[in-house]
């Protein structure tokens, strides 16, 4: 479970005898322009808070998150990142059979395995350009009590429009839907697609602050859900699960909208442009097929003789990490994922890939 993710920058640094900061990590889907202005100064000023226990229930963080999204605090569960919440959900929901829309993030399946919950996939595929087949998904929903959907999806970067997703959830009232919106903040117009305030009794939404704000080391995640589901989750809630600095960060990120909203808007604008330019550069090679998406990363297929393992290894020797997608259910060693960085780094990677291929 721990080793089922992407490139390990710490292991590569040990292998190359360099510092992790010497490596360009384009395998990790975080905002290259973060953290937001003022956040690091706030954390430095509050380092002294680590000498005492944080709030046992993360109350201030919960209240700030709830107020930001128009929720009641009893509709919110905080977590040590969304990973903790994902791995708690099958037990809390007493899931007997799960369905996962894939190819997608491995932790949904890992969480099911942890709790001995059988699961199946509905897989999108390359001929459909990885656009989810919502009719086939709907047919399968009736055979599961819990459905995991990452929207927009990792690694395909495809989005199911929010109204369509809400309609799917309404058609299956006896099925619980876990909607992971970790990458929705990267989507221009993404607010129109969130289900965080959908007020549906069978829907729970995962929200990560790691990606858009580039603070994965703080481990900040929330679950927005109906009160009845929150009560079930809290049976598994650990005291002090959100650290002191994370508390400070949440309050700042949720309440300082005059700083945070322009930061998010500008990040989206630049990444939209970079995604278009990177796709054009990659498609100039006859050996790469790029799939459409709306997030901060790009899924591509190697169409020539090369395989992802060899390409990733060659780039790693030059201190660049991209994601080999061979271990995603539904993909193969022909697929890679590239997380966008600054314009200069994106151009450099495109040139190196062109030479390799």
**pLDDT tens for residues 107-132?**
999 999 999 999 999 999 999 999 99
Average pLDDT rounded to a whole number, residues 37-51: 96
Mean pLDDT of the chain: 94
Average pLDDT rounded to a whole number, residues 180-202: 95
Note the pLDDT of residue 304. Answer: 85
Model confidence at 6, in pLDDT bands (50, 70, 90)? Answer: low
Model confidence at 22, in pLDDT bands (50, 70, 90)? Answer: confident
Average pLDDT rounded to a whole number, residues 161-182: 96
4 pLDDT more than 70? no
| pTM of this structure | 0.94
What's the CA gap between 100 and 293, in Å, rounded?
A: 20
What's the CA gap between 265 and 1, in Å, rounded?
A: 34
Sequence-separated contacts (24+) of 277-283 with Cβ below 8 Å: 277/343, 277/346, 278/338, 278/340, 278/346, 278/350, 281/346, 281/347, 281/350, 281/354, 282/350, 282/353
Model confidence at 145, in pLDDT bands (50, 70, 90)? Answer: very high
Model confidence at 155, in pLDDT bands (50, 70, 90)? Answer: very high
Q: How large a percentage of the chain has pLDDT more than 90?
A: 89
Note the pLDDT of residue 5. Answer: 55
Note the pLDDT of residue 16. Answer: 86
Q: Which of 59, 50, 107, 4 is nearest to 237 (CA)?
A: 59
Model confidence at 9, in pLDDT bands (50, 70, 90)? Answer: confident
What's the CA gap between 284 and 42, in Å, rounded?
A: 44
Q: Which of 75, 345, 91 is nearest to 231 (CA)?
A: 75
Domains of the chain (ranges plus CATH)? 9-36+259-356 (3.90.1150.10), 51-256 (3.40.640.10)
Sequence-separated contacts (24+) of 161-167 with Cβ below 8 Å: 161/193, 162/192, 162/193, 162/194, 162/195, 164/134, 165/193, 165/195, 166/195, 166/198, 166/200, 166/203
Note the pLDDT of residue 128. Answer: 93
Note the pLDDT of residue 45. Answer: 97
78 pLDDT more than 90? yes
Model confidence at 86, in pLDDT bands (50, 70, 90)? Answer: very high
What's the CA gap between 29 and 291, in Å, rounded?
A: 17
Q: Which pair of tokens denotes residue 121?
A: 């996939």
Model confidence at 7, in pLDDT bands (50, 70, 90)? Answer: low
56 pLDDT more than 90? yes
Average pLDDT rounded to a whole number, residues 254-280: 96
Dihedral Cα 314, 318, 321, 326, nearest 10 deg: 0
- 10-24, 130-144, 194-208, 226-240: range with lowest mean pLDDT: 10-24
Q: For strands 146-150 and 98-102, give the pairing.
A: parallel
What's the CA gap between 330 and 164, in Å, rounded?
A: 23
Average pLDDT rounded to a whole number, residues 185-211: 95
179 pLDDT more than 60? yes
Average pLDDT rounded to a whole number, residues 319-336: 95
């Amino acid at each position: 479970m721990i080793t089922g993710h992407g490139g390990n920058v710490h292991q590569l640094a040990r292998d190359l005898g360099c510092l992790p900061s010497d490596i360009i990590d384009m395998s990790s889907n975080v905002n290259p322009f973060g953290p937001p202005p003022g956040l690091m100064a706030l954390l430095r000023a509050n380092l002294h808070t680590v000498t005492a226990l944080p709030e046992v229930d993360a109350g201030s963080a919960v209240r700030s998150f709830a107020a930001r999204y128009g929720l009641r605090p009893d509709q919110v569960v905080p977590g040590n990142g969304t990973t903790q919440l994902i791995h708690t959900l099958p037990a809390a929901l007493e899931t007997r059979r799960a369905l996962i829309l894939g190819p997608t993030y491995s932790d949904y399946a890992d969480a099911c395995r942890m709790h001995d919950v059988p699961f199946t996939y509905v897989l999108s595929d390359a001929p459909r350009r990885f656009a989810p087949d919502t009719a086939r998904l709907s047919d399968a929903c009736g055979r599961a009590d819990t459905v995991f959907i990452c929207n927009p999806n990792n690694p395909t970067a495809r989005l199911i429009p929010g109204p369509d997703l809400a309609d799917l959830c309404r058609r299956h009232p006896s099925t619980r839907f876990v909607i992971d919106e970790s990458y929705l903040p990267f989507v221009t117009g993404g607010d129109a697609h969130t289900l965080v305030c959908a007020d549906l009794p069978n829907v729970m939404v995962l929200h990560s602050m790691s990606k858009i704000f580039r603070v994965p080391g703080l481990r900040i995640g929330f679950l927005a859900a109906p009160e009845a589901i929150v009560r079930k989750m809290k049976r598994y809630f650990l005291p002090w699960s959100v650290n002191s600095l994370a508390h400070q960060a949440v309050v700042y990120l949720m309440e300082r909208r005059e700083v945070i909203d322009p930061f998010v808007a500008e990040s989206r604008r630049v990444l939209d442009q970079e995604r278009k330019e990177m796709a054009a550069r990659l498609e100039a090679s006859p050996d790469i097929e790029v799939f459409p998406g709306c997030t901060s990363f790009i899924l591509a297929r190697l169409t020539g003789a090369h395989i992802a393992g060899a390409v990733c290894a060659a780039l790693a020797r030059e201190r660049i990490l991209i994601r080999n997608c061979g271990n995603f259910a539904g993909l193969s060693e022909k697929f890679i994922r590239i997380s966008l960085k600054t314009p200069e780094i994106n151009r450099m990677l495109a040139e190196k890939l062109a030479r390799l291929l």
